[in-house]
Structure formats: structure tokens, C-alpha cells
């Protein structure tokens, strides 16, 4: 039997997300934006709900194409708000449009969002040994990145949300030690261990 992190064991969508995406080092700007957008939409809601609504998000937000999203106007916002099953938070939708613009500015400055974000760890996945016994919701890395994102104009991306993104995109390996993904990431990607 394959050992997995306890949080994902639903035999369905959460398990599939865990096995195929969560914590795997990600180096694709559009996918980074997708994950960030879903984190922003998730504020105050469950991640399970985000996964259930992912196809609706893809439909509403042009498959997470940040270049298109940055151009959205009031008509498009209303169209998104009127989509059946969509989370109807105009503030979150406006934040995503704003974030698409800021995201592009980082790409213009650094060549890619991915290069900028992974620059914080010199391209290595961090493994915090103490997280295995006491799971974290934020740390000094997410604090620093969250401050910088806020300074650059991102919305709905504080330290706790950023920490969740760092877990999702593989910058922090927070799989449980017994999980098959933990060993896979440590064996197949550049990692750095912290106490």
C-alpha cells in the first residue's frame, strides 16, 4: 500500500492532486499563476472546494492565462460573476486581475516569475525537519516573499497564503516523511535541509 500524507486521503480528488501536483517542484509561469490564483480564491474557504471548482475557474479565467486576465474589464467581471458555480466575490476577482498585471511586471523584470520566486532558495526545495513534528502555517521564507509581493502590489497573498503556495509549487517539501512523495522529491530534485 502506498503511504501518503494524511490530509489527502479521500480516495478521490484530493489524493489525485496530492499524488500528481502538490509539492512537485514547478517551473512554469502559467501554472504558478494558476496556483496563486487558486490560493487567492481559497481565502476563507476549503482547498477541496477549490479543486471542485477548478474547471469553472479555467472557464472563467481563460485557462489561467495571466496576459488575458490582465486585460479584463467590467463586462468580463460581470460575466465571471454570472457564471453558474463561480465564487461570487467581486473583490477576489478584481484581485486576480490586479495580480495578473503585477505578475507580468515581475516577468518583465526577471525574465520569468518562476526565476524570481525560486531565486529565494537558489532553485532548491527546502525541507524543514521541524515541520515534520510541528506543521507550519508560515515561516521566515513565506514572510519575506509575502512582504515583497505586497510591496509589489499583489492582493490576497499574505504570508500564510504564500506558505501554502510554496508547499504546492515544491519550494517547501512538507510531505510527511512516510509519504512516497517526500522521498521522491528528496531523491530527484535539488533539496536543502533546515533544522
Catalytic residue positions, numbered: 17, 39, 47
Whose cell is 513565506? That residue is: 142
Residue spans of alpha helices (H) in the chain: 13-20, 29-42, 47-52, 54-60, 66-69, 74-81, 90-110, 113-118, 140-152, 159-168, 180-188
Q: What is the dihedral of CA 37, 38, 40, 43, to 10 degrees?
A: 170
Output the CA torsion sign for 107, 166, 31, 37.
negative
CA distance 173 to 166: 9
**Residue pair 160/142 in contact by the 8 Å Cβ criterion:** yes
Element of type H or E holding 194: strand 191-194
Instruction: Return the SS3 of 19.
Output: helix
Whose cell is 479521500? That residue is: 10
Amino acid at each position: 500500500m502506498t503511504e501518503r500524507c494524511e490530509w489527502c486521503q479521500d480516495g478521490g480528488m484530493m489524493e489525485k492532486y496530492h499524488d500528481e501536483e502538490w509539492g512537485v517542484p514547478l517551473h512554469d509561469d502559467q501554472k504558478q499563476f494558476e496556483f496563486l490564483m487558486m490560493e487567492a480564491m481559497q481565502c476563507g474557504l476549503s482547498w477541496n472546494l477549490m479543486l471542485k471548482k477548478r474547471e469553472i475557474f479555467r472557464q472563467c479565467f481563460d485557462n489561467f492565462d495571466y496576459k488575458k486576465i490582465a486585460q479584463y474589464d467590467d463586462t468580463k467581471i460581470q460575466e465571471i460573476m454570472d457564471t453558474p458555480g463561480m465564487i461570487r466575490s467581486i473583490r477576489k476577482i478584481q484581485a486576480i486581475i490586479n495580480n495578473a498585471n503585477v505578475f507580468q511586471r515581475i516577468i518583465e523584470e526577471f525574465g520569468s516569475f518562476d526565476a524570481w520566486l525560486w531565486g529565494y532558495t537558489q532553485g532548491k526545495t527546502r525541507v524543514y525537519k521541524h515541520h515534520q513534528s510541528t506543521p507550519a502555517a508560515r515561516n521566515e521564507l513565506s514572510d519575506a516573499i509575502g512582504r515583497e509581493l505586497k510591496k509589489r502590489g499583489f492582493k490576497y497573498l499574505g504570508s500564510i497564503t504564500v506558505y501554502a503556495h510554496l508547499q504546492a509549487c515544491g519550494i517547501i517539501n512538507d510531505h510527511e516523511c512516510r509519504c512516497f512523495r517526500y522521498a521522491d522529491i528528496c531523491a530527484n530534485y535539488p533539496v536543502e535541509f533546515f533544522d
